[in-house]
Amino acid sequence: MNTAHTVRTANTVNMDDDYVIEVDALHHRFGKNNVLNGVDLCVPRGSVTALLGRNGEGKTTLMRLLTGWLVPKAGHIRVLGLDPARKGPAIRAKVGYVQDGVELPKWMRVEDWFRFLEPFYPTWSRDEETQLCAQLDLDPRANVSTLSKGQRAKHSLISALAHRPKLLLLDEPFSGLDPIVRHEVLTAILGHLREEGRTVVVVTHSITDVERVADRVALMEQGVIRLDSDLEELQRSSVRMAVTLHDANAIWSAPGHPATERDGADVVLTYIDFHPAYEKALREDAKVASINRLTRDLEHVFRAAARATETTPKNGQEVTPCNAS
């Protein structure tokens, strides 16, 4: 059974040890503003999942729900097998959570902040703390007020990793950083976590970050997950094609459910679930003058995923729970 691109039902609440995060039919609102509108998400153990979406789509709200800082209005969540609404402190002791823009007391030294955090985490390792400071070239004796933006990001990351968390949540922690620093941090730290089989969810707007570090991708739009896929499988199954029609005014539709951009006789199709039968049908279509495959990148694919899943009939989608095999 192909479970590369999945849509899950609201009544599927079977929680599975193979998944570190399991979210089912999750809803949340602030006042009358609905932020999450039925989120379904499964994050496999040991994976690095990139969570994409525009500002205001609910990504940070989801992170806060996963760590128990918010309580959902409806739906089910399990993080490391626990319900965050009931076991928030226990989950936070096992999770590293890095947010953008967290302000620290400027009078503190780097190591003073570590000593403040240590009692909250039973698994805090000073050896790990020392190793990470050396790996990221951060002086533990430095005063917080003297740190650059890049050094503050490193400090936040070390604070989240020194207790050796089973799950690391990164909520846009490196936005605006120098590309060299960004590459250094992501490559070194995420590579280290992968080797140890720990799980990472990184919220990002950067396609480059996704290609560099992730093995899974989830796309959030309008408070729902539009795409939840293995990245390698998504790249294999995605095709972008240019189609020219004989008649610019012809009424025409493509086989399957591609995202479609049309300008008269010129049509661009982007499939996220391409099948050779679609190309065969296009070549045999009397209204089609020519077709050509185009180079596609992940940005095209993500845009297509958002558009295609909005228009795909529900009975044409695959319904797969977290524990599907």
What is the band of 126 on the pLDDT scale with cuts at 50, 70, 90?
very high
Do 230 and 216 contact (CB within 8 A), yes or no? yes
What's the pLDDT score for residue 99? 84
Other beta carbons within 10 angstroms of residue 179's beta carbon come to 10
Residues 6 or more apart whose CB falls under 8 angstroms from that of 101 comprise: none
CA atoms within 13 A on the CB side of 36: 27
- The helix (H) or strand (E) run that includes residue 111 is helix 110-117
Residue ranges and CATH numbers for the domains of the chain are 45-64+88-218 (3.40.50.300), 236-316 (3.30.70)
Model confidence over 132-170: pLDDT tens digits?
999 889 999 999 999 988 888 889 889 999 999 999 999
SS3 277: helix
What is the model's pTM? 0.82
Do 81 and 26 contact (CB within 8 A), yes or no? no
What is the band of 14 on the pLDDT scale with cuts at 50, 70, 90?
very low
Using the predicted structure, report yes or no on whether residue 68 has a pLDDT greater than 90.
yes
State how beta strands 224-230 and 199-203 pair: unpaired
Percent of the chain with pLDDT over 90: 56
- The helix (H) or strand (E) run that includes residue 133 is helix 126-135
What is the band of 177 on the pLDDT scale with cuts at 50, 70, 90?
confident
What is the band of 9 on the pLDDT scale with cuts at 50, 70, 90?
very low
Q: To 5 degrees, how large is the angle CA 82–CA 87–CA 93?
A: 90
Other beta carbons within 10 angstroms of residue 103's beta carbon come to 7
What's the pLDDT score for residue 185? 75
The alpha carbon of residue 248 and the mean position of all alpha carbons in its chain are separated, in whole angstroms, by 39
Residues 6 or more apart whose CB falls under 8 angstroms from that of 232 comprise: 215
Using the predicted structure, report yes or no on whether residue 192 has a pLDDT greater than 70.
no
What's the pLDDT score for residue 218? 92
What is the band of 323 on the pLDDT scale with cuts at 50, 70, 90?
low
Using the predicted structure, report yes or no on whether residue 285 has a pLDDT greater than 70.
yes
What is the band of 269 on the pLDDT scale with cuts at 50, 70, 90?
very high
Least confident of 11-25, 48-62, 195-209, 218-232: 11-25
Using the predicted structure, report yes or no on whether residue 315 has a pLDDT greater than 60.
no
Q: Report the chain's mean pLDDT, rounded to a whole number.
A: 84
SS3 204: coil
What is the band of 25 on the pLDDT scale with cuts at 50, 70, 90?
very high
